[in-house]
Chain A
Amino acid sequence: QKEVEQDPGPLSVPEGAIVSLNCTYSNSAFQYFMWYRQYSRKGPELLMYTYSSGNKEDGRFTAQVDKSSKYISLFIRDSQPSDSATYLCAMEGTGTASKLTFGTGTRLQVTL
C-alpha cells in the first residue's frame, strides 16, 4: 500500500463547476499538508499549505484536512479552463526525514 493515495483521474468538468480533489494517507506522522498545481511540462507550483486538521481558504481554493480519517481535500469553486492541470497532494511530518511524500496527481480538465 502506498503512503499516499490519489485518484489519477482524468477528471473532466464544465467551466463554473465545483471541483473536489482528494488524497488519503496512512502515515499518522504527517502534520503538514500541501497542494501543488503542475501544468504540462512545468514544475509543480505551491497552491495551498495547511498544518494539522482544519480548513484554509484562498480565493476560489479551499483546502481541508481531516487527520482522524487521514483524508485531505482541495475544493475549487467556479472552475476555469486555466485550472486545467495536474494537482498533486504532498505531506510531511516530524520524523519523516524532512522530505515531502507526494500523491501521484489527479489530472483535471475544465471544459468550456
Chain B
Amino acid sequence: EAGVTQSPTHLIKTRGQQATLRCSPISGHTSVYWYQQALGLGLQFLLWYDEGEERNRGNFPPRFSGRQFPNYSSELNENALELEDSALYLCASNNYSQETQYFGPGTRLLVL
C-alpha cells in the first residue's frame, strides 16, 4: 500500500514569492493535515481538511491557505513568503475517526 506522498521534495523561493506544496493521502483516507517543522520548534499544526472542507487551522496568518480536491489530495499555498517560512512542511492523513496520523516525507522549503 502506497504511503502519503508529497511534492516537490525541495523548493527554493525568494522573499515575497508564492509557493504551492502538494500532498496525496493514503488510499482510503479522507483527512489531510499540514504541519510546519521549523528548526528547534517542533511540529506546528497548520491546517486540517476532511471531505473537501477546512475543519480547523492552527495559529498561522491567512497567507497560509490550502484546499482539498475531490480525490482527497491537497495543496498548501503560501503567499508573500518570509525568511522564517523556511521549514520542512509535512502532510499527514487518516480517516476522520482515527486518532493516529500517517506522515509523508515532507517538502523542504527554503526562502532566500
Contacts and interface: CB of A to CB of B under 8 A. Distances in A.
Interface of A: 8, 32, 34, 36, 41-46, 49, 51, 88, 92, 97-105
A43 B104 contact: yes
B100 A46 contact: yes
Nearest to A97: B56
A104 B48 contact: no
A89 to B, nearest CB: 10
Interface stretch (B13-21, B36-44, B62-70, B73-81): B36-44
Interface bin, chain B: 20 to 34
Given A98-B56, A99-B33, A49 B100 contact: yes
Contacts of A44: 43, 90, 103
Nearest to B9: A41
10 contacts: A32-B99, A43-B90, A44-B103, A51-B99, A88-B42, A97-B48, A101-B45, A102-B42, A104-B40, A105-B42
A45 to B, nearest CB: 7
